[in-house]
Structure 1
Amino acid sequence: MESKEKEKEISGTSILYVLLTIIGFCIAIYKLYYRISDYFEEKEDRKQDKIEKVERYQKWSDEMTYNLEHLSIYHYITAEYLVEDSNSIFHNYLKVIDINGTDVQLVKFRAPGYTPVPRLIEESYMTDDKEDTITLSIEKLKNTIFENSEIPENMYRYQDSLKREGLFYIIKDINYINGPSLSRSNELASRGIGDTVTFKFRNENEKAILTKIINVSGDFKWQDSLPMPINGFNLNASDYNRSTEFELKATNVDFTKDYKFKLQFEDSLKNKHIFLVIKESENSPDFYESKRVLD
């Protein structure tokens, strides 16, 4: 009897051991599966991030190239020189003062790094000392907008080769400072009562009058009365970001589709300013962008 009981104990222990081994094996397989799954997920996320980064940089590059091809005396170029000065609170700027054929005459000046709106760049230009004047071809300026985003992001790594090519700075931004300067508000488009949608914008420069809204694609039904006065930037306002915001309301908006519309403004001198508002498929449904265009 004792022998049989011992056999049963051994048999039960063996079964328990086998079960524990199987459970441990299953847990190990489970963990391994999720580690492999996480690895491939992270790899796909990194790949997607890289694609989106390239797309964002290409958009920026296209916009800067467009601005260079349509330069005027109202443009200010933000430039980063190939000398590391990470402690500086100032930015370098180039103001266009003359255009002669394919050559551009620019004056260099510095302004505080914190310039919440383009208007403050011009105020710095009017009050700060000008360094010196340079003349460059538009093609040479275009050469500072690189096809490879790695160069501007790691400019100090490439600065020796850039200097050998005669490039001592890279373009970071180009601002047009005349009339209104439109950007999307920090808030996204919002749906109101019924099918009414509110588009929110901010004018970061001079006050103007909105005279036209033109559907380029989409068949929006605009609810606002035109002409509409639009406030300009006022640094003395208690909340200068809010003071420059305005809203436009429309119905018949399909967020599942891309859309484009133009906003036409008139400044105090009766000059026309046009901004193209775009929502593209890769953006989230309520996200849209605006940029200045000639017509």
Structure 2
Amino acid sequence: MSNRELVVLGTASQVPTRRRAQNGYLLRWDGEGLLFDPGEGCQRQMLFAGVAASEITRICLTHFHGDHCLGVPGIVQRLSLDRVPHPVRAHYPASGQEYFRRLRYATVFHEIADLREEPVEAEGPIATGDSWTLHARRLEHPVESFGYRLTEHDGVRMLPDRLAALGVSGPLVRAVQRDGAVTVDGRRVALTDVSEPRPGQSFAFVMDTRLCDGVFALADGVDMLVIESTFLEPEAALARQVGHLTAGQAAKVAAECGVRTLVLTHFSQRYPDPQPFHDEAAAVFGGEIVVAADLTTVPVPKRR
């Protein structure tokens, strides 16, 4: 059974608050565990959220501002301390490779874990699995920044009533999935006769950026969009100046792109009350809105 959910570890921006730790988000996607932008204190937040280091298969950094990467040293050392047996890939903007090396070897430790650096140099696919592809797209921020999109490959859903009606059972079910057609009692039965399309699910992660083409490309049609909403609309000019979004702008992206679940996060410390973020987004976007809170879990919505 698939397990697809977002574990929110921290929702603050540059300055943590009493209720918000700095960034950190773990996406559980079947057997993958993608840790996005681990900020300061992320390792402790993982403990509170019940996330084991052994769950991490990829570390994805959008950029090298401290609130998005100062948790890397602790995470890297924890991977070795816990003797995580599988390779862990690290994706980050290639222009910050020296910063990543400094974070990776910030202090003395006994390196055991197999951490494989895979710097992102350009837009496009950066990793693939058996049933998914991870893409990166450029964002607009004062330093080089990339957003990420995980897309499940389209598949088919087998129809039990059609299988039974056409006599396809037992090993023939796997055979028709593998070969595209089988012969039953001298009659050819195609995969399209006993199945229907099953669109793949998708997830996008968009952090520090002003509105740009990359934001819309990442968000296009996704089931879940995790997106920064550092400011509210009265501060829209400031947001653009410093390379950030408002809740209203994030909701506009979700509405125009057909997003199903919108997760707002990365809140400025100037806003102690999260409700205005929901209200501002709801005035623009009619789908599910989640104002992220530390140590909560948000399920990826069920298939369409």
When the two structures are superposed, what TM-score results if normalisation uses the length of structure 1?
Answer: 0.24
When the two structures are superposed, what TM-score results if normalisation uses the length of structure 2?
Answer: 0.23
Q: Relative CO higher for 1 or 2, CA cutoff 8 Å, sep ≥ 6?
A: 2
The structure with the largest helix share of the pair is 1
